[in-house]
Amino acid sequence: MLILTAKEIEKVYSMQDAIAADKQALKIYTQGDSDVPLRINFDMQKGQSLFMPAHIKGSDIVGIKIVSVFPDNPQLGKPSVPAQVLMLDPLTGEVCAMLDGTFVTQLRTGAVQGAATDLLARKDAKRAVLIGTGGQAISQLEAMLTVRPLTDVAIFDIDSEKGKQFTQQMKIRFAHFSANLYFSQHLDDDICQADIITSVTTSKVVTFNGDKVKSGTHINGVGAYTPEMHEIPASIVKKADIRVLDTKDGVFAEAGDIIDPIKQKLVSQSDFLELGDLVIQPQLCRQNAKQITLFKTVGTAVLDVYVGYDIYLKAKERGIGINI
Ligand SMILES: NC(=O)c1ccc[n+]([C@@H]2O[C@H](COP(=O)([O-])OP(=O)(O)OC[C@H]3O[C@@H](n4cnc5c(N)ncnc54)[C@H](O)[C@@H]3O)[C@@H](O)[C@H]2O)c1
């Protein structure tokens, strides 16, 4: 069995790799060639453990992500949300790899936004806005920088000190992209100019003013994952010319910023495509520079398992990881 930490995964796997893998995984999902049972949740005395398996049928890739939420862990010097991805050997059924699940989640979540931005944003997109500077934000920023040659990225967080610190760190980390990264002092002004907007927060209320969004903008909603959570204004969900979800089942069940506009009859479920549809039929992507496009993700185990196995194969080929 190969043990792969975040550092080792970084050595063998790039954001481009993850974007390509996510596109393929969601194509397989939309074609009905995967099994993704409902998540199993166990409530325990000190926290909760979540089990998320998936089976990619054709290639017999099977794996599971196990994520636990144990709020008291930091007092023990341990992470509050430990996570691992376990992969099975398709020929023997043995566990063949254990990967850092927190890092795989960050990578595949950034990459799914990158895949959507690649398929939907204008080719000449130059200016982006990133809202939210928490644990998922680095890979979200990297994904946007990877798929378009951006000149400017405005970064915003409701916690301005945290947002400013994050911006400074990202200027160093992503200096090789030569985009101007700055903390947004006037979010409305930056939204007005944005070609791409990505919101990745824990907010229950919308994170930007939909009236400020110009035509031609592509918007990604990554954060809201319960019916009470909202990042994307309902007016934008209504106004968007193309609306795309990672999985319809997941988003219609979980994401408040999509569930509510449907309840309010501003849009209906039939107004949404899956990202897999765009991969299968590229003619469904943006048709002109004026369209507003929207992507919403809540995540799916297909992404963890497909990306996890792809990383495992690359690491094995390169002899990277701890073999036990
Ligand atoms: N779509 C997916 O597959 C996927 C995967 C992983 C995580 N998530 C979700 O993404 C969200 C962000 O995750 P994280 O780990 O970065 O969280 P985090 O708690 O580390 O960071 C969230 C950040 O959002 C900021 N924020 C909250 N409300 C805001 C607002 N109104 N405007 C601007 N900033 C605001 C907070 O100050 C914080 O910095 C969570 O809801 C998480 O569950 C989604």
**Is the sign of the CA dihedral 42, 256, 191, 178 positive or negative?**
positive
153 and 250, same structural domain? yes
pLDDT of residue 178: 87
Ligand 1 centre and the CA of 136: distance in Å?
Answer: 7
The rounded distance, in Å, linking the Cα atoms of 302 and 320 is 24
- As a whole number of Å, the CA-based R_g of the chain is 19
The answer to whether residues 117 and 218 touch, using CB atoms and an 8 Å cutoff, is: yes
Compute the average pLDDT of residues 85-108.
97
Does any domain span residue 145? yes
Measured from the Cβ of residue 289, the count of other Cβ atoms closer than 10 Å reads: 12
Q: Are residues 264 and 312 in the same domain?
A: no
**Amino acid identity for residue 94 in this structure:** E
Instruction: Find the domain containing 281 and state its range.
Output: 120-299
Q: Compute the distance between CA of residue 128 and CA of residue 191 in angstroms, rounded to an integer.
A: 8
Nearest CA to ligand 1 atom 13: 136
pLDDT of 276: 98
Q: Where are the alpha helices (DSSP H) in the chain?
A: 6-12, 15-30, 101-120, 137-147, 160-173, 187-193, 234-239, 248-254, 256-263, 275-280, 301-318
316 found inside a domain: yes
The answer to whether the beta carbons of residues 129 and 221 sit under 8 Å apart is no
pTM assigned to the model? 0.97
**Token output for 94:** 């043995």
CATH no. for residue 149? 3.40.50.720
Exposure class string for 261-287: b at 16+ Cβ within 10 A, else e: bbeeeebeeeebbbbbbbbeeeebbbe
The three-class DSSP label of residue 265 is: coil
Is the pLDDT score of 77 beyond 90?
A: yes
- Same-domain check for residues 147 and 291: yes
Residue 149 is predicted with a pLDDT of: 98
Query: What atom of ligand 1 comes closest to residue 224's alpha carbon?
Result: 41
Same structural domain, 183 and 216: yes
Task: Please list the residues that pair with 290 across neighbouring strands.
Answer: none
Q: How many CB atoms lie within 10 A of CB 302?
A: 29
Question: pLDDT digits over 177-219, tens only?
Answer: 989 999 999 999 999 999 999 999 999 999 999 999 999 999 9
Vertex 147: Cα angle to 190 and 198 (nearest 5) = 35
202, 204, 247: which to mutate for ligand 1, most atoms within 8 A of CB?
202
Q: Tell me the sheet residues that pair with 92.
A: none
Ligand 1 pocket, CB under 6 A:
105, 109, 131-137, 156-159, 162, 200-203, 207, 222-223, 225, 297-299
pLDDT of the residue at 139: 98
Contact 275, 119 (CB under 8 A): yes
Shared domain for 92 and 201, answered yes or no, is no
Q: Looking at residues 311-315, what average pLDDT do you find?
A: 98
CB atoms within 10 A of CB 202: 14
| Sign of the Cα pseudo-torsion (28, 30, 33, 38, in order) | positive
Q: How far apart are CA 44 and CA 49, in angstroms?
A: 7
Give a yes or no: residue 112 inside a domain: no
Q: How far is CA 196 from CA 53, 167, 169, 175, 287, in A?
A: 32, 18, 21, 20, 16
Ligand 1: nearest atom to the Cα of 159: 37
**DSSP structural state of residue 138:** H
Residues 163 and 285 in one domain: yes
CA angle 76, 80, 83 (to 5 degrees): 120
C-alpha 222/C-alpha 256 separation (Å) is 12
Mutate to test the pocket of ligand 1, among 50, 103, 133, 136 (most ligand atoms within 8 A of CB): 136
Count CB neighbours of 40 within 10 A: 12
What's the structural domain count of the chain?
Answer: 2
Residue 58 sits in the same domain as residue 44: yes
Asked if residue 110 is part of any domain, the answer here is: no
Instruction: Tell me, yes or no, whether 111 lies in a domain.
Output: no
pLDDT tens digits, 244-298: 999 999 999 999 999 999 999 999 999 999 999 999 999 999 999 999 999 999 9
Instruction: Specify the CATH number for the domain of residue 14.
Output: 3.30.1780.10
CA of 201 to the centre of ligand 1 (A): 3
pLDDT tens, position by position, 21-53: 999 999 999 999 999 998 999 999 999 999 999
- In this predicted model, what pLDDT tens digit does every residue of 132-142 receive, in sequence order? 999 999 999 99
233 and 247 in a single domain? The answer is: yes
Task: Let me know the angle formed at the C-alpha of 264 by 261 and 265, rounded to the nearest 5 degrees.
Answer: 90
* Domain match, 217 and 196 both: yes
Same-domain pairing of 249 and 313:
no
pLDDT score, position 264: 97
Atom 8 (ligand 1) nearest CA: 223
Nearest CA to ligand 1 atom 43: 223
Query: Is residue 162 domain-shared with residue 291, that is, in the same domain?
Result: yes
Same domain? 240 vs 135: yes
- Which residue has a Cα nearest atom 42 of ligand 1? 223
